[in-house]
Copies of this chain bind each other. A is one copy, B any other.
Amino acid sequence: MVQITNTAQQQNSSQVAFISVSQMMELVRHIGTENFITGLISYLEQDFSRWGLFNKSPRFAAHSPDGVIELMPTGDLEQFSFKYVNGHPKNPMSGLQTVTAFGVLSNVATGYPLLLSEMTILTALRTAATSAMAAKYLAPKNASTMAMIGCGAQSEFQVIAFSTVLGINKIRLYDIDPEAVAKCQKNLAGKDLEIVACQSIDQALINANIITTCTADKRNATILTNEQVADGVHINAIGGDCPGKTELEAKLLRRADIFVEYEAQTRIEGDIQQLAANSPVTELHRVINQQQPGREDENQLTIFDGVGFAIEDFSALRYVYQLAHKYDLYRSLELLANPSNPKDLYGLAMMSE
């Protein structure tokens, strides 16, 4: 808990709203994961609908032998946001998260930050919300079964998003780690879902209308081959999300209609890094804005090659900024100096409290 301890601090600094991990947990529990995701999708659709108004650039990525640290900035005419996010596949071996994140939302007119928020939990929610939003336009009608390949930190959020938004009620779980499957199954108990723990990917794919791949290995893996996948399926491929980290066989990609968030970034980071730079893909906002079709028939094989784009974080930060104020679940952080005379920063720095 952040407390303002005296009046001098209030005069000398400008306060930024701060949502801690505990407060994010409280916010999600208070509203419920399902409602949180539904509300977040409405923010995502608003922002995808006005795609042309955003500053867009592929994220900044600092690669090192063990992982990557990324900065993901974007903004419209009124607000700016960025997310700091790391991806370190070996972290769990030392008890750390593969992915942690935090983000900032700012006022473009003044440049002043409005919100600093944890985003480890929030990123999981926005990734699931984005996948489910894409599937609304791409999944076969009346889909009821999803294969969930990879039962790591993202898996329950994906399952809940698809069950909430698309009415998926049968989940087939697979992971190379049986404990991850057991954890996922346990966390989803009581959700009114028929859950089957599978022994292989092939078993998980049986009758699946939607296949979600969310694996973490930092290499060009082949989680799904072309031959394993039937026509008419929607693949929600979100684990291939950085250079040299892919999940789908190239032949499978070539057979499918591929949808992406922001082509310039997905060419670098997505499964389509395996394809020629001019291979056809459709940006999702064009489907949402009815400029291009999503799924057109029941035999079509569709792939959402999701890598996570800055506008999704922008939407998520806008959403929690509003929620945190509504439910008073934030504290104020003394992050910015605010001298009474803006030209007298030195006088402020020397001031005794």
Contact = CB atoms under 8 A, between A and B. Distances in A.
A67 interface: yes
Interface stretch (A100-108, A136-144, A163-171): A100-108
A71 B73 contact: yes
A166 B73 CA distance: 40
Given A3-B3, A12-B22, A120 B345 contact: yes
A1 B91 CA distance: 30
Interface string A19-31: 0111011101100
Interface in A275-316: none
Contacts of A53: none
A266 B52 CA distance: 30
A336 B100 CA distance: 6
Contacts of A9: 20-22
Nearest to A334: B20
Contacts of A151: 343
Contacts of A352: 29
B187 A347 contact: yes
Given A64-B108, A100-B336, A109-B66, A82 B84 contact: yes
A204 B274 CA distance: 63
Contact of A55 (B62, B98, B106, B157): B62
Interface stretch (A110-118, A228-236, A251-259, A317-325): A110-118
Contacts of A26: 353
B343 A153 contact: yes
A183 interface: yes
A22 B343 contact: no
A106 B60 contact: no
Max count, chain B CB within 10 A of own CB: residue among A29, A67, A100, A333: A100
28 contacts: A1-B3, A1-B5, A3-B3, A8-B22, A18-B333, A24-B349, A25-B351, A28-B350, A55-B62, A64-B108, A64-B109, A68-B111, A86-B110, A92-B343, A96-B112, A96-B342, A97-B339, A97-B342, A121-B348, A124-B349, A153-B343, A153-B346, A155-B346, A156-B346, A157-B346, A187-B346, A187-B347, A187-B350
8 tightest CB-CB pairs across the interface, nearest first?
A: A86-B111, A156-B346, A120-B337, A153-B345, A13-B21, A92-B342, A20-B334, A88-B111
